[in-house]
Amino acid sequence: MELSETQKSIQNAETREEMKAEIERAIDENDIIIFMKGNKMMPQCGYSARAVKAVSLHEEEFETVDVLRDERIREVLEEVSDWPTVPQVFVDGEFLGGSDIVVEMHEEGELEEKIDAVA
């Protein structure tokens, strides 16, 4: 799978400040984005797979960023979200949480409401 423009722009950042700006821009420009291990076609951990599945039940089109492609992504992402683990799901610029929170939101109908508001 070819790298998305979002993935490329984040990875090509030369400094932490540039990467932070690119991550923030990606969050702002994408209605739904998941920072995860792997990508939506091939998640590289169970937590990432669960997050993708929960979001996919409500919307097929969303962006993913593979944090395994550059170790800096995880570090800088934690500064942006103040959350230490991945996956991290953002909808309409709002950080929703990791896989457990997103699955719980799905089960309670909250995820569908959030996604329907932007999709």
Where do runs of H (alpha helix) occur along 57-98?
71-81
What's the total number of domains in the chain? 1
Per-residue pLDDT tens over the stretch 53-108: 999 999 999 999 999 999 999 999 999 999 999 999 999 999 999 999 999 999 99
53: amino acid identity, one letter? K
Give, as one character, the DSSP assignment of residue 4: P
Give this prediction's pTM. Answer: 0.96
CATH code where residue 50 lies? 3.40.30.10
43-46: long-range contacts (C-beta < 8 A, 24 or more apart)? Answer: 44/68
Q: Are 88 and 98 in contact (CB under 8 A)?
A: yes
Task: Tell whether 119 is covered by a domain.
Answer: no
